[in-house]
Structure 1
Amino acid sequence: MASFMLSGTTASKISSQLTQLRHQMGTPALGMVLTLVVVCDESNQYDAVRAATEAAREHPSRILVVIARDPEEPNRLDAEIRLGESTPGEVILLRLYGELTKHADSVVSPLLLTDTPVVAWWPGDSPKVPAQDPIGMLAQRRIIDARAEADSVKAITGRADGYVPGDTDMAWTRLTSWRTLLAAAFDQPVGPVKKGVVEAAAGHASAPLLAAWLSERLGAPVKVADSAGPGLTAVKLSTSDGSVLITRADARVATLSRPGQPDRQVALTRRPTAELLAEELRRLDPDEIYAAAIRRIARSRKS
């Protein structure tokens, strides 16, 4: 791995140093499929960089990590360039001071790969309307995580008003395995669903999204109820033929129960952030199913 530090630098100097390092290592910047802009602070940058680097094994990327430091200090840009860190891509940590903290887009824009998509990811605090954020305006895909908010359920509800195609949420991505299993539960015909409930730890960000998705798909009311956790613990759907149940008590293995069928044990583990991020990077088109889910939540709270 090659690593190079630049203090009090500029975007043009970073680009020149990056080109020089690439030539020294004999690894020209070819084969990278996107630019991933990670907006975080020092407290979560280590985990964010590790997740982004692991995801880049599947999606070779230029990873730009934007870290706003002290806005009261004189204007300064410090950079750390990392090449060959278990990934075919590049990692550039950008630490901004002074007025630069308010103009991160002007630092990031010259460093974007040409003719490739841009994805913005906020692993911690995120703007209320990501598409109106200066960094978000540079991106085709904008990933936030409602779980990082103080009131995650309220944060999800608020996303509906400011939703723009290309927005998505890690709280939604965490539901992929649950949604796949629920779809499989209806492979065998069962009667129409009359009502349902999603049980999860109090304030769990993904629970209302799962309930909203089920309500949209099944045309039946699905509520959220608190459980002892951890995380999502059960989905219970009442049909004219009996109950369809998915229960998970240990965040690892779930039990699927259907009318007239033997119970089945299914692996349903929590997935690491890197895996969730890699999933989101596989698709850059708008996620209309997510949009429908958050809009249903917003409608239900207004009614």
Structure 2
Amino acid sequence: MRTELTDTTSSKVNRALLEARRAIGSPTMGLVLTLVVVTDEENAYDAVRAASEASREHPCRIIAVIKRVSRGPLTLRATRMDAELRVGTDAGTGEIVMLRLHGALTEHTASVVLPLLVPDAPVVAWWPADAPADLAGDPLGALAQRRITDAAAAADPVAVLDERAAGYHPGDTDLAWTRLTQWRALLAAALDQKPLPVTGATVESEADNVSAELLARWLEDRLGVPVERVESPGPVITRVTLRTAEGEIRVERPAGALATLVLPGSVDRKVALKIRSNAELISEELRRLDADVVYGSALRRRPLQAALSA
């Protein structure tokens, strides 16, 4: 069921949600959290679609905050909020509230969103594209237990990592880090099978791949060895090499969903290592609401080579 409200308020949106649930015969809520998606019109469709797919695993109320930019001084722009509500089969397993803010309301997003949060449920905020430098200090970020960004969407994604590190607070995370979950699990499993001291490492990827930069920082943080970054044709990360006295431990994925795991003295093996969609990444992040201390440590890791030369 879809409902559209023009020049509305948060209280009217709440009443419309209740009426919509009654109309479809589901007056009670079985929602486990609120997912606030802060985006622009250009990225709204893809972001809401990914969040809706993720809600099939995590029933939630999705609140998409879309700031509509108008020309002219802020004081002269029309101030209003338009809303689109989706309940039932139109909203996956939860509810979708799309708020389009005009004029001065774009500067008061938290006061608009606060009355629409699911009572007594955690709040997760997600910025699919442009994100504030200080996530926890942002009015919407201050409402959330978890704050998700995507550095890969930035014009200079690697440079954004330093900005994220400077403004890091427990609860912050980035989809560039989530894309590494399978890589990190595979490399950790390889070292469990071959518990050899690592003397150096190499991460090969396409140019300016932010996930590869985070992977290099994580390896330096965990192993305490210099990690070389090498450019490859891609796509994304293509190879990780860990050097040991008995030979190289390698994970190679030149293309496709299969990678090759190479261990010294063992037969090469094929392992699944596909590139996941944003919906899968968001689903993973919604499974945990505590601080990701490993991400925080890797994010703030100073490159070991630079530290040695200082």
Into which bin does the TM-score normalised by the smaller protein fall? Answer: over 0.9
TM-score scaled by length of structure 2? 0.94
Q: Secondary structure at the match of 1:283?
A: coil
Unpaired segments of 5 or more residues in structure 2?
Answer: 72-76
The amino acid of 1:52's aligned partner reads A
Of residues 156-165 and 168-177 in structure 1, the stretch that sits farther from structure 2 once superposed is 156-165
Q: Kindly report structure 1 stretches of 4+ aligned residues shifted beyond 6 Å.
A: 298-302
How far did residue 29 of structure 1 move? Answer: 3.7
The amino acid of 2:4's aligned partner reads M
Q: Secondary structure at the match of 2:220?
A: helix
Whether the 8 Å CA contact 2:194–2:263 is kept in 1: the answer is: no
Of residues 282-291 and 22-31 in structure 1, the stretch that sits farther from structure 2 once superposed is 22-31
Whether the 8 Å CA contact 1:214–1:222 is kept in 2: the answer is: yes
2:245 aligned to 240, 244, 248, which one? 240
How far did residue 279 of structure 1 move? Answer: 0.2
Whether the 8 Å CA contact 1:32–1:61 is kept in 2: the answer is: yes
Which residue pairs with 2:34 in the alignment?
Answer: 35
Whether the 8 Å CA contact 1:158–1:298 is kept in 2: the answer is: no
Change (3 A) 1:158 1:299: farther
How far did residue 26 of structure 1 move? Answer: 1.1
Instruction: Give distance in 2, aligned partners of 1:140 and 1:184.
Output: 30
Which residue pairs with 2:254 in the alignment?
Answer: 249
Change (3 A) 1:132 1:35: same
Instruction: Give distance in 1, aligned partners of 2:30 and 2:287.
Output: 16
How far did residue 157 of structure 1 move? Answer: 1.8
Change (3 A) 1:122 1:113: same
Q: Secondary structure at the match of 2:163?
A: helix
Which residue pairs with 1:82 in the alignment?
Answer: 86
Which residue pairs with 2:68 in the alignment?
Answer: 69
Q: Secondary structure at the match of 2:167?
A: coil
Q: Secondary structure at the match of 2:240?
A: strand
Which residue pairs with 2:269 in the alignment?
Answer: 264
The amino acid of 2:79's aligned partner reads N
Whether the 8 Å CA contact 1:190–1:241 is kept in 2: the answer is: no
Instruction: Give distance in 2, aligned partners of 1:144 and 1:273.
Output: 12
Whether the 8 Å CA contact 2:258–2:271 is kept in 1: the answer is: yes
Q: Over aligned residues, Cα RMSD in angstroms?
A: 1.4
How far did residue 222 of structure 1 move? Answer: 1.4
Instruction: Give distance in 1, aligned partners of 2:233 and 2:297.
Output: 28
Q: 1:183-224: per-residue Cα shift (whole Å, max 9, x none)? A: 111122342100001011000010111011111222211121
2:160 aligned to 152, 155, 162, which one? 155
Q: 1:3-48: per-residue Cα shift (whole Å, max 9, x none)? A: 0000000000100111111111111242100000000111111110
Instruction: Give distance in 2, aligned partners of 1:128 and 1:301.
Output: 24
Which residue pairs with 1:172 in the alignment?
Answer: 177
How far did residue 129 of structure 1 move? Answer: 1.2
How far did residue 299 of structure 1 move? Answer: 7.8
Unpaired segments of 5 or more residues in structure 1?
Answer: none
Whether the 8 Å CA contact 1:55–1:274 is kept in 2: the answer is: yes
Which residue pairs with 1:49 in the alignment?
Answer: 48
Q: 1:162-188: per-residue Cα shift (whole Å, max 9, x none)? A: 100000000000000101111111122
Identity over aligned pairs, percent:
53
What number of residue pairs does the alignment pair up? Answer: 302
Of residues 123-132 and 83-92 in structure 1, the stretch that sits farther from structure 2 once superposed is 83-92
Which residue pairs with 1:58 in the alignment?
Answer: 57
